[in-house]
A and B are shown apart, each in its own frame.
Chain A
């Protein structure tokens, strides 16, 4: 009896949901929160996707980008969780930096299940590079050195200790079988450029960051890329850079760019946004934006993306626990 009632309830709610999916109409205008100051990656995600949403008439009016910096996205996350529940006309830009902070509990009292992860439309892949006169010619040589002495190579990157740039080194080292991960030294800089300067100047030995950060320095010959942390070689001007995978080290570290919606958004609205993100990703407008800005192919949306985010959060939490960043 009990069970049949529940089934009935489920069935009616499903019917209700599908009937609503025809009824859902996107708002006349939408808002996109970039959880940082103008000029950064999240700001770029909001502005470029927002423009395409109105250019392709997914949204009739404008998509307004609102900058809400603070706590590496935490202020915007808290705002979305506490004040915007059920708002169907709101996108919030996110990336691997968001999942990293969520996994490490840096947004105090909040977790990744409090919003709806709707989709990613591109990624910047992790890279490990050394100066042009470095003795390390490939990733295996570097990893061998780390196996012998975890402190022999000091890495610099643009994120705080425990941040995504730091984790990339650890992901690669773990995949290569280096023990004693907490002993690997990582120097945190304000940005990738500052860290690269120190590598080029010979003060530290390794750079860890995103592939878009190193392009200028690889072209000028100052840096040598030992490995890109992607599934396969990247297209275009990145084609010469070897992947970690082809050197026998299974390390993949995409810094995806995408969005989440507030919790409490009805399923039909979530589906509409999922299809819309798919549409934007397929559009020529977006392909052009990706090419101009060095974004690499990476696309997940809807339930797939939600599952991916949950897995990424779990992986990062495990790794952070292993190196003693969190308990």
Chain B
């Protein structure tokens, strides 16, 4: 009942004209970013953070806009998967399996509509899950002392690569890089300076917002310059939508199953949306069995991964809001944004910043409705936008990034840092080192270090405090599992994902 009251208050925040407008802008830009191949939700949010700063938005408005971008990107990813057979982002990869065959059969509009409905169901159920689970978890989170937090941060690092991660060593390198950068600045446990060389600008460390924008947005520009891409993707055509009620009912059970699985994999740290869509698709294929025609344009094969990845995206907000530990790359970026807005995520967020949190949650529900509208009747607009040549798009992105970063602190040094991180991001991507662990390292490194030192201060230097509660032992076990699983399950899962895609491509050529 209390939750319902908070939610109603949240709607009062989310339904103000200003916030509705920012939710709409976010949903729109998010869908567009998701649809453009290569730009995932983490990049999308990273690129738009400067926009929030240069507009001077309030914390609530910024978070509403950015979470709408996040939700929108999860919707948008499917558009190019279905129309062009190019996943707009990684979680949308599974959608190509049945989405593109449907488009080939002249059912692109139906595929887009079905996947939008599945996305809507996934998002809706996961938001409800978030509403129920988050306050409970927030109350429980009071049991987390420094020792438990240290275990939890270790867990986040252990599962960094994700179950399907390719090169664990490169992930570790990236995380270590982030950790190293995070040691610059004042060490608040002792008040001493580390690696600042008496340069005042370095005293508070390297701002992770600048690192995020540089690594993601500026490196994107450098790649663009290198590839000389000047024309947009091949324009796709869309047939007239012919969707019956029975088609929707047909995919309903699939969407429900996908949502539940997606939500669970979203809540678990490190697993994220890609796993959500993969598990949902695989399970659906098994349940339906021979009755389906998966891989040849079965609508259920479009609905399952889309419900899964949208549900996972909202599920990942649960640990981010309640514990301050992000469950995925995009939530890490959102977490960074919350911290720079002087809002401290964690157990007390739900009581101390109730208006903001519930406003954002209510905005998720409202934004989800907007996205459904944007993605069925208006999907044609995005299809057209897909063919915008990047030569117009990228300069705008860079301009927004530069103006936004400068407006945070009016310091030209920040711009140099942004460009520096852009170059670093470019190099890392060339070496196929993932960028998200760098950000997580920067973000979680100081917290993890402090938790360890606090735990040891409390215990007067006795290391056994780290394993002294049932809770911490439980978290350590999951962390060890997270480290071991990729070596056992990873190759297996990856082979299956690749097989499924390869098989489809072979069949396509055979057509």
Contacts and interface: CB of A to CB of B under 8 A. Distances in A.
B135 to A, nearest CB: 14
B342 A37 contact: yes
A187 interface: yes
Interface residues of B, number: 38
Contact of B143 (A70, A201, A216, A325): A201
B409 A107 contact: no
Given A70-B203, A71-B200, A190-B339, 9 more contacts: A39-B59, A67-B408, A71-B201, A75-B201, A154-B458, A187-B454, A201-B347, A203-B145, A216-B352
B142 A200 contact: yes
A182 interface: no
A39 B344 CA distance: 12
Given A201-B144, A203-B458, A160 B352 contact: no
Interface stretch (B27-35, B100-108, B187-195, B395-403): B187-195
Q: Which of B200, B347, B450 has the most CB of A within 10 A?
A: B200
Contact of B145 (A38, A67, A198): A198
Contact of B56 (A38, A160, A188, A191): A38
B340 interface: yes
Interface of B: 56, 59, 142-146, 186-191, 198, 200-201, 203-204, 339-342, 344, 346-348, 351-352, 408-411, 447, 450, 454, 457-458, 460
A188 B446 CA distance: 12
**Interface residues of A, dominant DSSP:** loop
B412 to A, nearest CB: 12
Contacts of B186: 72, 160
A69 B201 CA distance: 8
Contacts of B458: 154, 187, 203-204
A74 B454 CA distance: 27
B200 A107 contact: yes
Nearest to B342: A39
A37 B458 CA distance: 32
Nearest to A196: B348
Contact of B347 (A163, A189, A191, A197): A197
Contacts of A145: none
Given A67-B408, A161-B189, A201-B143, A193 B344 contact: yes
Contacts of B189: 160-161, 187-188
Contact of B410 (A67, A162, A191): A67
Nearest to A151: B460
Contacts of A55: none
A325 B191 contact: yes
A187 B457 contact: yes
B352 A78 contact: no
A216 B351 contact: yes
Contact of A194 (B191, B344, B351): B344
A68 B409 contact: yes
Contacts of B340: 37
A248 to B, nearest CB: 30
A189 B460 CA distance: 18
B203 A71 contact: yes
A234 interface: no
B25 to A, nearest CB: 20
A81 to B, nearest CB: 11
A191 B145 contact: no
Contacts of A40: 342
A159 to B, nearest CB: 8
A185 B457 contact: yes
Contacts of A66: 410
A197 B346 CA distance: 9
B352 A74 contact: no
Interface in A53-95: 66-72, 74-75, 78
Given A160-B186, A190-B344, A197-B346, A70 B457 contact: no
